Amino acid sequence: MAEGMEGIVHVRIDDRMIHGQVATQWSGRLSATRIMVINDSIVNDDMRKTVVRLAAPANVSTSILGREKALANIKSGRYKGQRVLLICVSPMDVNYLIDNGLPIKEVNVGNMAAREGTERIRPSINVTQEERASFKQLIDRGINVTVIPTPQSPTVYLKDYI
């Protein structure tokens, strides 16, 4: 990853946070030593945090942080020497990080579940109008937004579907 992102080896958007594909395939392929989940809504929900942590491989550390704390930790170089898989729940989280100085150049989109008010744009990717606009903003910024469910899946570019 770019300078200013020491330790970050992959950025992914996945509303499931840590789950089977992340725990068994992505963390292994990336040789991740830490999985960091960034989202303000989960930070104060101890039950959800416990469930998310239980899904992580035993040999991989976890961090579940709000946007501001994650941003401060990354900018301070706290993860230098680690291999961090950074997972955001929404494209708005990624735009927040970029707006506040992180030089993110590529984002992989995993799953965004169907919810009320969403439109399916790809298998397993359903977006609200706000999420669609946030993805467009990422693409307009020149961020390479890919859709790669598992490490062995072919690379698809979200710009072709948004």
Would you name the residues annotated as active-site residues? 19
* Token reading at 160: 């072709």
Strand partners, 88: 13, 38
The token pair that represents 161 in the structure block: 């579907």
Contact in structure between 139 and 162 (CB atoms under 8 Å): yes
DSSP classification of residue 135: H
Phi then psi for residue 93, to 5 deg, are -60, -40
- Give dist(CA 2, CA 120) in Å, integer: 32
For residues 57 and 129, what is the distance between their CA atoms, to the nearest angstrom? 34
